[in-house]
Amino acid sequence: MAELAQRLRYYRKQRGLSVRELAEQAGVSVSYIYAIESGARGSNAAKLGLIAEALGVSLSDLWGDARPDKGDIPRDPGEGEA
């Protein structure tokens, strides 16, 4: 669950979205986004699909199932940050 939280935060920040903006675009509550990013809440596949769509990524990108050779996302969302 921690990896999901890190990836969600990474993609949201990469797109310059606040939690509120992402929640509005995905059609979920602000508290739901906060709960996932804090690792305090499990995820609902349908809602995660909406969030992934709003971020312009696949559900497998959020889950961390992407191939390491894919090249367009880091395996570790903190990778490369200073």
12 close to 55: Cβ distance less than 8 angstroms: yes
**36: domain CATH number?**
1.10.260.40
Tokens standing for 75?
A: 């395996």
The predicted pLDDT at position 42 comes to 67
Q: Look at the chain and report how many structural domains it folds into.
A: 1
Taking the CB of residue 44, how many other CB atoms lie within 10 A of it?
Answer: 13
Reduce the DSSP state of residue 27 to 3 states and report it: coil
The predicted pLDDT at position 78 comes to 52
The predicted pLDDT at position 67 comes to 41
- Residue 78 included in any domain: no
- Residue 54 included in any domain: yes
Helices in 15-78 by DSSP H: which ranges? 19-26, 30-38, 45-55, 59-63
pLDDT tens, position by position, 19-66: 999 999 999 999 999 999 998 766 788 999 999 999 999 988 888 765
The predicted pLDDT at position 43 comes to 72
Residue, of 44 and 79, whose pLDDT is higher: 44
19 close to 11: Cβ distance less than 8 angstroms: no
